[in-house]
Amino acid sequence: MLRARTDDEAFADVRREQARAEYATWNLILNHFERATKLIDAADQPSICKQHGRSAVVLDMAQQLAISEQRAWGILHDARTLRDHTPRVWATFRVGHIDAAKAGAIAATVERLRTSEAVAAVDASAVDYAETHTVGELRSWLRRLRARLEPDEVADETARAVEERRVSVTHLDDGTSWLNALLPTGVAVVVAERLRRAAKALPAVDPETGERDRRTRDQKQADLVAHWLTSCEGTATDVRAEVAISIAATDLIGLTDGPGLTLDGEPVGAAWVRELAQSEHTVLRRLVLDAAGTVLDSTVLAYRPPESLRQALRFRDGACRVVGCRAPAGSTDLDHELAYDRGGTTSADNLRCLCRRHHNMKSHGHLDDRHLDGPMAHVERYRVA
């Protein structure tokens, strides 16, 4: 007796079929270019003619596939990188367990690695993570992994990038303009957290006029930036916002050189964290983990968790627990998995961070447990081939 496919199986099949089709495109581009290149290289022509011949091959493929030449070159480059350097990733792409976006993210990271050992570690570890996470989460994980595998190279790259820090203004046609600032990641995290907290602390009702503040959070943050930059003076960065950065004790004291991690999983240089730790305004909290790297349980006999438990849960989860949601933990609600009035405890084991949208979905019975991810792993492991 044949069993009808479930919707979940149908979605999985479609996802794999799309990924296999993307692989077929990449493989076709790679194989066609290499066959054509052999004929071009065998011809008795000047090197400049051979170079133009290769460009003509890519142009023809781009037109056949209705994509840009730049995109065709990019696919060719990424496909060759994965096939030649990460065979496990390439094989997984072939059977449709990862798609082109994830394959491209892995290829971009491999291109930046300097040692064969680091490349082998990515090939051995990236597939397992990529299969169960979004491409955005994968890119963040790859940045963390690279910072762990090649800390000196990443530190040098960051130092060069920081030299390019700048502010630019782009005027639009509707009377508004974009104010863009390229900053070190650690400073950007601090700025964002200070803005979030300052906007949240603004009174809902103006104490002088009695009028209700109807601005959105984004509008409040934009107004605060304008106010700070037009009415405040200062020539030195002074970190006063409350931000959470976790770092292994061995990295903090310099025995190892792994990065610190922000709550949303972005790596920041160990040297910057060590410098921050020496500030008189910095508060150091010991985070006790179990062997798997998760925060140990804590329970209180009340509905509302105390601030100490809230902070521990924000450290534990890092972001909204819905798979793929990147809402930072600091702006989420703490949800009782089993409702408090049904016997659920106010404990780490029964609480999880959910953004307001997903919390409302759960409260109305439209958020299944299969949509939830586990807590953030504060100890990440990777395999070496």
DSSP state of 306: P
pLDDT tens-digit series, residues 131-186: 999 999 899 999 999 998 998 899 899 899 999 999 999 999 998 999 999 998 88
pLDDT tens-digit series, residues 345-381: 888 888 899 999 999 999 888 888 888 888 776 666 6
Alpha-carbon distance of 67 to 118, in angstroms, equals 33
Domain limits, the chain: 7-149, 166-231, 299-371
Average pLDDT over every residue of 46-51: 88
pLDDT tens-digit series, residues 283-315: 666 665 655 555 555 555 556 777 777 888 888
DSSP state of 297: P
Alpha helices of 202-344 — where are they, by DSSP H?
A: 217-231, 249-252, 270-277, 307-317
Alpha-carbon distance of 287 to 249, in angstroms, equals 10
Q: Are 296 and 288 in contact (CB under 8 A)?
A: yes
Phi, psi of 158 (to 5 degrees): -65, -40
What is the CATH code for 299-371? 1.10.30
Q: Are 195 and 217 in contact (CB under 8 A)?
A: no
Nearest C-alpha neighbor of 316 from the set 300, 340, 339, 332: 332
Whether 117 has a pLDDT exceeding 80, the answer reads yes
Q: What is the pLDDT of residue 268?
A: 80
Alpha-carbon distance of 291 to 312, in angstroms, equals 17
Residue of 273 and 385 predicted with greater confidence? 273
Q: What is the mean pLDDT of the chain?
A: 85
pTM: 0.71
Return contacts of 233-241, CB within 8 angstroms, 24+ apart: 237/187, 239/187, 239/190, 239/276, 239/279, 239/281, 240/194, 240/281, 241/190, 241/191, 241/193, 241/194, 241/197
Helix axis angle for 116-130 and 87-94, nearest 10°, is: 30
Residue of 114 and 302 predicted with greater confidence? 114
Phi, psi of 70 (to 5 degrees): -60, -40
AA identity, residue 264:
D
